[in-house]
Amino acid sequence: MGLSVPQRCLLLLLRAVGFVIGLLGLAARALDANYRAPRAAPPPAQPLLLLSGLRLARDIRRGKVKSIDVIEAYIARIKDVNPMINAIVKYRFEAAREEAIAVDKQLAEGHEDEATLEKEWPFLGVPLTVKEAFEVVGMPNSSGLVNRRNLVSQTDATVVANLKRAGAIPLGVTNCSELCMWYESSNNVYGRSNNPYNVQCIVGGSSGGEGSALGAACSVIGVGSDIGGSIRMPAFFNGVFGHKPTSGVVPNKGQFPRPVGAQEKYQSTGPMCRYAEDLVPVLKVMAGPGVHKLKLDHEVQMKNLKFYWMEHDGGSFLTSPVDRELLQAQRKVVEHLENVVGASVQHVKLGKMKYSYQLWMAMMSAKHPDGTEALTFRKLLRDHGNPVWPLWELVKWCVRMSSLTIPSIGLCLFEKVSFDSETFTRLENLRKSFRAELIELLGNDGVFLYPPHPRLAPKHHFPLSRPFNFSYTAVFNALDLPVTQCPLGLSKEGLPLGIQVVASPFNDHLTLAVALHLEDVFGGWVSPGKT
C-alpha cells in the first residue's frame, strides 16, 4: 500500500534537491545581517487592533468608535509590519477608507436600530483580508502564477460578496503558494511571505499570507481555502484559528484554480480568524443559504462530548516525527478535558492513518461521479493551456530561466508517476473504509484531537526536504471531515503551538465549540514580539 519504486526514487531526488536548496538558504542567511538573529513583528500598540471582529462591529454600531478609525488603525499597522512579513500583496486602502466613511455616515443618519443593523450587517465597518486566489473586484487574482500577474478581477467571489453585504471592508489580498499547491507561500509574482513570530520561518500554505496577516494583527477576519490543509497549516504556523467546513456548504465559486472533478467535492472554503468568537458568525455569512446544515446554533456542553486523541500518524516513513512540544501541548489539552471538564477522553490507534498521503493522492486523482477527471497540475500551470514539460522546466530553473517555482516543478514530476488502476482501487477502498470507521467512532457527539503538523513552523525551504508532512492535515480532506485548527500558546522559542479538532460530517458546531473553550483555557492568539 506504499509508494511505487519510481515514486520512491523521485521522492529521494526531491529530498536531495530540497536539502541542497536548504543549505543554500542557510548560507544566504549567514551572510545577511537581517537573518543573524530571529526577528518577530512588534506587538500592536493600538487598542483597536486587539478587539475581535464581533466586538468591533458592536462598538461601531453603538457609536463607540468610528469605522474610519478602525480602518486607519489597521492601515497604519499594515504599513508598519507588512514590509517585514510580505503577507498582504495588494492594498485596497483608498476604497476601504471611502467605504468606512460611508458606514459612519449611514450610522449617523440613524435610519436603523441596533437589532436591525446586527441582523442585516453583522460585520458593518469591520476590516477583512482575502486570499489572493479569490476574486475581489479591482484586485489581482493570479494565485502566484506569472502568466496571470496582470489579471484584475471584475467580480467578487461568492464568499467575498457575502462578507461585503454583511458590511465587512476588504483591506487587500494576501499571498499564497503558486497555484495554491504547496505549504510555503512563495511565488515569482509576489515573493515569499514571512512568519510574524520569526521571519526566518514559513507561514504555511496555501493561505499563508492570510495566516501571517492575521497573526501579525494586520487583519482580524479573513478568507481561506483548503484542499490539503491550506487553511489549517497557516492558522497553526501563525497562531490563529482556522476552520475547514464540511464540504459542499460554503460556496467555492470565484477562486483560481477552480477545483475540477472529485477535487470540487473535497475543497473547502472557510474562515480564518484571530479570535475564536468570530469563527461561527463569519462562517454563517460565508456559507449563505446552506448554513443550516452545519448546526451552528446548536448548544454544546463540553462535558457531554466524547473526546478521542492520537499523537502521530503511526510512523509513516514519509513524515517527520512529531515535535515534543506539540505532544506536550496535546497532553495538556487531554489532561484538562479529563481532570477539569470531566469529559470522556480516550486514546486511540488508527492504523490507517499511516497511509494519509496515499489516501489524499487517491482523492486528488479520482474522477467526479459524473465522470469528469481532475485537472492536472501541469495544465493548471499554463492556466488551462498546454501542459508544461517538468523536466524541461527543471533544466530552465537551474539556469534561472523558468517562471515556475521549484515546488511546482517537483509536483509536476511526481504527478507523472501516478498510481496504477489496481493500486488506486485499493487506496480508494481503504479511504472509504477509514472514513466509515472514523464516522462511526465519532458519531454526533465525538471529536478527535490530532496534531496539525509534525513540526513547529519550519525554516524557509525546509518543506522541500519533507514534502509530505502536510499529510497531517490532508488526510481530513480525503476523509471529508470538518476540522478547526486551534492555537495553544507559544513554544520555548516563541513559535505557535496548536491542535486540530475533528468531527463527523455536518457536526462543525462541535469543533467550533471546542475552539471557543480552548481559547478560554489556553489563551488563543498570542501577540508576536512579546518577551
Catalytic site positions: 131, 206, 230
CA distance 195 to 237: 8
CA distance 442 to 437: 9
Per the listing, cell 472509504 goes with 432
Of 277, 292, 289, 283, the residue nearest 57 (C-alpha): 277
Count other C-beta atoms under 10 Å from residue 290's C-beta: 12
* 208 and 184 Cβ atoms separated by less than 8 Å: yes
Beta bridge partners of 222: 129, 272
* 167 and 124 Cβ atoms separated by less than 8 Å: yes
Length of the chain: 531
Beta bridge partners of 393: none
Per the listing, cell 480552548 goes with 518
CA distance 466 to 457: 13
CA distance 175 to 189: 10
Q: Positive or negative, the Cα torsion across 86, 92, 98, 103?
A: negative
CA distance 253 to 267: 11
CA distance 122 to 130: 18
Please give the grid coordinates belonging to residue 297: 446554533
Query: What values do phi and psi take at 399, rounded to 5?
Result: -110, 20
Task: Work out the burial of residue 113: count CB atoms within 10 Å of its CB; fewer than 13 is exposed, 13-18 middle, 19 or more buried.
Answer: exposed
Q: Positive or negative, the Cα torsion across 475, 477, 478, 480?
A: positive
Distances in Å between the Cα of 498 and the Cα atoms of 13, 171, 237 are 31, 27, 8
CA 249 to chain centre: 17
Q: Distance between the two ends of the chain, CA-based, in angstroms?
A: 47
The residues near 349 (Cβ < 8 Å, ≥ 6 apart) are 310, 314
Please give the grid coordinates belonging to residue 204: 504555511
In the chain, the largest separation of any two C-alpha atoms, in whole Å, equals: 70
Find the angle CA(457)-CA(463)-CA(469) to the nearest 5 degrees.
80
| Residue 496: strand, helix, or coil | strand
CA distance 476 to 464: 22
The residues near 419 (Cβ < 8 Å, ≥ 6 apart) are 4, 361, 362, 365, 427
